[in-house]
Amino acid sequence: MSVKNRPPKNKERKISQPRLSKEKKLNHAKKVTQLTAKAESKDQDQEHKEAFKAPQGVAIGQEYKTPVVELIAKAEDQERRIDNFLISILPNIPKTNFYKLLRKGEIRANKKRIKADYKISQGDVIRIAPLILKNTLDKSIALKDIVKLNSVQVLKKNIVYEDAGLFIINKPAGIAVHGGSGVNYGVVEALRVLFPKEKRLELVHRIDKETSGLLMVARKPSVLKHLQEQFRNKTIYKSYLCLVPGIWKHARVEAPLLRYEKLGERFVKVDNQGKESITNFKLLQVYEDENGQKFSLVEASPLTGRTHQIRVHALHALAPLAGDEKYQDLIANSYFNKLGLHRMFLHAYKLNFVDPVSETRKEVEIPLDPELQKFLQSLTPIE
CB 357 within 8 A of CB 347: no
CA torsion, ordered 245, 246, 248, 254, to nearest 10 deg: -60
CA distance 224 to 91: 18
Reduced DSSP (H G I as helix, E B as strand, rest coil) percent helix, strand, coil of the chain, to 5:
30, 25, 45
Any catalytic annotation for residue 208?
yes
Neighbours of 342 (CB within 10 A): 12
CA torsion, ordered 257, 260, 265, 267, to nearest 10 deg: -20
What is the residue-wise DSSP string for 178-230?
S-BTTBS--HHHHHHHHSTT----EESS---TT-EEEEEEESSHHHHHHHHHH
Q: How big is the CA angle at 204 (ends 324 and 152), to the nearest 5 degrees?
A: 65
**Catalytic one of 83, 208, 355, 369:** 208
**Cα–Cα distances in angstroms (integers) from residue 223 to residues 79, 166, 357, in the given order:** 11, 7, 8
Residues classed as catalytic: 208
